[in-house]
Structure 1
């Protein structure tokens, strides 16, 4: 920031493009892909918007976007927007999943959705799925999904917002059609910074940035080589999209060096976080008297987040379900409002933030492991949550929801 404020014109026009390329080169090496396939955008939602808003749909109205019910909220809204504004050219097909479920079950549900789509005379063009879903915070079988999409001729749009820096991100082996990830989460880059990967074979689809800016080229004049100097049209397009704070993009190279030189390397960092999440999750469940959300194979928890059930049960509206001695019962119509009250109370009274959410017939919390945390931090969270659940049992939320 000091450099750009000292000489804004010189920095933005001359220094920034060079430094940006250096950081693109660093993240490309980390992902094991060519540098010409990666660009930076502010966040994962912007990346998905760039992909979906640029996608050209067939005029016959048969195209479909497939996605899972665990899609991140903003991404789901983006799908809705595209469907609403493309005048009947494309529709969406959600695939409902409820955990705990096995990886094979998820793949089978996807296969059935594709078969149903085709059976109805539709055309499943692309599928959006996560590396690690947000709610619940579980590892999605993205490798198997990518293989299955290729087998069935469905393009892959992988939301890795919770991905880079948390789990292996070897895109050379995965070979998705589109992939993006927030760098300001697990890679420890200042907000806002995300990387968008588009292989050369699909870059002709990315005509515009979001918002459209200096790099846009009219369709009648567009070709695969148009760009700035030696850079491709794709890279040139995303290099400068207006006067924004691009400084987070220039921190990627140093962050990757820190992870290697100070922490000891990516394998050590990821192993520490995943082990802490697993150990911490079990300890929290022990204190709460509940259990960790996982599948039987244990693959869903192979990430740096853990989801623990709270001693709160969800009952259908109008039912007469009674609570066990160590749990509370909330009806379906108020559970989300109470979850919001719990999060607000955690911030106000305990000076922390923990995600509280409902899934299936239960209420869970999502906890994250980071290199600066230890098991005792999870134990503190558990004791805090235990106290908060006691306040729910006393119905302290009444009058506040």
Structure 2
């Protein structure tokens, strides 16, 4: 039951007929080479260069058409869609995503975004006085605020932060993480929970998250992996890694509609997730959490973004699949980062290559005043935004270690010439900001 009466057999029904009827899987004619030729399958404004795919994702035209068909199907017969069509399609999404990340389908549920999934885990956790939450100085902003909030309210678990400054190395991060855990004051019955990134948001650096999860197991620490940027960008094997909790956005690198994400909770930990937010009509009791059933229906909503994952997976398969896509994007990220650094006269953040998946980070030629306030830095950031959009492109701009950096995402529609254009444009923008006294 998901808020309406749904016969149990429908939850496991074959959704293939519905998929055909609403256009999911309609990806014929997409034998398009990667690079600028692929732009015909996307919806960007003429001439617009999007090097910031990592923030919000970019939906291909075939996926957009599938979402439009889904929306029309829902409006044509709302009761049929909500009571009969939706749930088999959702089950199909969970099954396919689980296969991609090598997990059991009944350990995967769909949520709106990674922040929602992280909050679902942390707000269900049975905190006690004396417990500890570990984060990193590079933890995504909304997640770091969640950790701060939880430490501010009863029973006030202690917030402990591992400082990370680049350049560094995977080996150094692992050593620092283990040392930090062992430096904590531990006591019997105490829970320690670590929230760690699979790929950091800013900088866009691939963390040794699999090894950190292993350290957590050895040190009896719960692992909550913020994998917002992982699915669709790197190979994932959750059966092998066995994190305690893991969440990833599908609307970023997997190319589905915003917002759609997968929350993985292995069966050994599903007793922790007592309730969805809001509490689902599928809730049974504190003893019987009905994990999948709760997430099937958390109230009437637009289910199209989550269901669009089916079409996104079809699209990716039609253009060559995960390996081909990520080989192209990774190679371009490495080459593009080096070319950007050459044009800007600076350096890449990851000079060894171990942190680079499909994003690259490059130092900008603009200094930060030692006395600059956060408000002043925000004002400069918005000047960057205005100037980039005026030049018909966008790349992520951020501050790390009191330096300005750009994070650029390689994607299947990008070529090296786009990095070159952006490099020259950012050099010009930095020069303008210097003249303006920024």
Q: Give the alignment's TM-score, normalised by structure 1.
A: 0.88
Name which of 50, 74, 83 aligns with 2:151. Answer: 83
Report the CA distance shift for 1:75/1:338 in structure 2 as closer, same or farther (over 3 A): same
Q: Residue 51 in 1 paired to residue 108 in 2?
A: no
DSSP 3-state at the match of 2:384: helix
What is aligned with 1:245?
302
Task: Quote how far apart the aligned CAs of 1:250 are.
Answer: 1.3
**Mind listing any 5+ residue stretches in structure 1 that lack a counterpart?**
225-232, 318-329
Aligned to 1:223: 288
In the other structure, the counterpart of 1:334 is: 376
Given the alignment of the two structures, is residue 72 of structure 1 paired with residue 140 of structure 2, yes or no? Answer: yes
- Whether the aligned pair in 1 keeps the contact of 2:199 and 2:207 (CA below 8 Å) is yes
Distance 1:115 1:144 in 2: 16
Shift in CA distance, 24/10, structure 1 to aligned 2, threshold 3 Å: same
User: Which shows bigger deviation, 367-376 or 43-52?
Assistant: 367-376
Distance 2:257 2:101 in 1: 19
Does the 8 Å CA contact 1:314/1:332 hold for their aligned counterparts?
no
Question: Which residue number in structure 2 is paired with residue 360 of structure 1?
Answer: 401
CA distance, structure 2, for counterparts of residue 331 and residue 21 of structure 1: 49
Q: Could you tell me which of 9, 24, 28 is aligned with 2:98?
A: 28
In 1, the alpha carbon distance for the partners of 2:322 and 2:97 equals 13
For residue 201 of structure 1, the aligned residue among 265, 268, 289 is 268
Contact 2:127 2:155 in 1 (8 A): no
Contact 2:167 2:349 in 1 (8 A): yes
Q: CA RMSD in A?
A: 1.9
Residues 128 and 379 of structure 1, relative CA distance in 2, 3 Å threshold: same
Cα distance in 1 between the residues matched to 2:260 and 2:394: 22
Is contact 1:336–1:358 with CA below 8 Å preserved after alignment?
no
Instruction: Show structure 2 runs of 5+ residues with no match.
Output: 1-70
> Residue 330 of structure 2: which of 274, 286, 294 is its match?
274
2:428 paired with 1:387: yes
Instruction: Tell me: CA distance 1:274–1:82, structure 2 relative to 1, closer, same or farther (3 Å).
Output: same
Query: 2:375 and 2:187 mapped to 1: Cα distance?
Result: 35
Per the TM alignment, residue 267 of structure 1 is displaced from its structure 2 partner at its CA by: 0.7
How big is the shift at 1:175? 1.0
Residues in 2 aligned to 1:392 and 1:151: alpha-carbon distance in whole angstroms: 49
SS of structure 2 residue aligned to 1:10: helix
Query: Following the alignment from structure 1 to structure 2, what is the Cα–Cα distance between the partners of residues 305 and 345?
Result: 22
Asked if residue 299 in structure 1 is aligned to residue 354 in structure 2, the reply is: yes
Displacement after TM superposition at 1:195 (Å): 0.4
Decide which of 163, 170, 175 is 1:108's aligned counterpart: 175
In the alignment, which of 64, 67, 83 is matched to residue 13 of structure 1?
83
Instruction: Classify the secondary structure of the residue corresponding to 2:368.
Output: strand
Answer 1 or 2: higher relative contact order, Cα 8 Å, separation at least 6. 2
| Correspondence for 1:314 among 351, 357, 368 | 368
Q: Distance in 2 between matches of 1:337 and 1:113?
A: 35
Q: 1:80 to 1:332 in 2, by over 3 A?
A: closer
TM-aligned CA deviation for residue 249 of structure 1: 1.4
Deviation digits for residues 308-341 of structure 1, max 9, x if unmatched? Answer: 0011223423xxxxxxxxxxxx788734432332
Tell me, in whole angstroms, the C-alpha distance in 2 between the residues paired with 1:213 and 1:259. 33
Aligned counterpart, 2:74: 4
> Residue deviations 1:108-132, cap 9 Å, x none?
2212221221269994511111111
Measure the CA separation in 2 of the matches of 1:106 and 1:37: 29
